[in-house]
Structure 1
Amino acid sequence: MEMNELPFYDMSDNPTGCCPVFKPETWEGVTLHFKDKPFVRAKTHSVLHVPVDMGKVFSRVFKHMEDSGAYEASDFVVMSRDLSSWKAEHLFAANKPVDAEEMTTLSGEFVTKVFEGGYREAKNWHNEMQGLATEHGTQNAEVWFFYTTCPRCAKIYGKNYVVGLARL
């Protein structure tokens, strides 16, 4: 992939009007290269890794991004990771600053792997991503996940794809 480019995510293939149909083959085994790529940073609360305010936080961030013109459908990803059993961090790709939200940038190379299944598998996926990073020469990699569909859409589509991203 080119610098700061993401795999194509077809937002027009959206029968639910919520989350588009995810095409796993476009994200599988890709290496992403970021250099000062801008993101909105948001945090959610969890109880033993189970998010409790994700819907509220994501709705707020997306509204602020759309209001400021920082949301670009062709440059879409939300990278999420647990900071503890009680808190998670989420990075929303943005094409310009969003005044009402915290901004950050991200640099580095990230290798991807697509998983399918429920959230309860996240620990196993995290371990697989660590193994993949080790194969690429990185120990104790920072691992993020891109949850491609909300629970309602995953139920409708019959698949729950999650992309693992390990920083090399």
Structure 2
Amino acid sequence: MKTAILTLSTLAFLGTTTFAETKPNIPAKEASQIFKAAGFSKTKHGWEGSCDTGEITTYKDFNGDGLKDAVISDYSTMCYGNTGVGYHIVAQQKTGNWKLIFENMGVPTFLKTKGKDGWPDIENGGPGFCFTIYRWNGQKYDVNRYEYNGKACTLND
């Protein structure tokens, strides 16, 4: 029964709008730079990270600075446990280079609330009923609060 609930929870999260977006059309050279910035290597099977083959699931300007940002998702229960999903957020810099700014296990949902420099808060979804919200502090994403359905919670809830 526990396995069925975890499987259904994971499938429900994979069906969220974060993963329901159409696959972005990214020039091959740019995609290559994005994957390399996140530490992925090109193989005959695609771009592989330390867990599995990744795919760019989101490609847009997250913080309104006029530069593109990307989310690379990869899937592995060996690396990511019951959640089965990991993500890597890569931001284009003013120089044109790409930089990894955050990576985590879970399903990222970008919220309307914002941290420094216009970066959206990230709800880190996965199995459970209380999720970590990360906020950009100008240098990195740090834990800001815990929420479930937009309401404060504690990890013990």
Bigger relative contact order (CA 8 A; separation at least 6): 1
- TM-score interval (norm. to shorter): under 0.3
Name the TM-score, length of structure 2 as normaliser.
0.26
Structure holding more strand per residue: 2
Name the TM-score, length of structure 1 as normaliser.
0.25
